Amino acid sequence: MQYAFIILLILVIVPYAYAQCSSTALAPGVWSPWAANGCSDTCGMCGLTQMIRICLVAGTCTGSSTMTSTTPCGTIPCPYPRNACCPGFAAGVSNGSIICIQSG
């Protein structure tokens, strides 16, 4: 009976410990899910979307109590007279649609 309890305990603790190690390797602490604002422009990959998350349990997160990430957005090419795509991006085809993709 004691062996069954020990095996059950191991089966419960090992996955929990592994999950804790995996998540802390990326960003130690207890964080909220990422939340994104809208794109700041509608076309040409000229806009930016900022994502943010906050530390939910004080003292568990290292560094700042907020994390931010900014990514380009607005994949459809811009209409004339604007350039179709902003610097660093070029028109390309994806799933039969013309979109702006990272160049180079």
Q: CA 101, CA 104: separation in Å to the nearest integer?
A: 10
Average pLDDT over residues 77-102: 97
Q: CA 90, CA 101: separation in Å to the nearest integer?
A: 5
Report the percentage of the chain scoring pLDDT > 70: 74
47 strand-pairing partners: 73
pLDDT greater than 50 at residue 94: yes
Residues sharing a CB contact under 8 Å with residue 100, sequence separation 6 or more, in sequence order: 43, 44, 45, 74, 75, 76, 77, 84, 85, 86, 89, 90, 91, 92
Give the pLDDT of residue 73. Answer: 97
pLDDT greater than 90 at residue 28: no
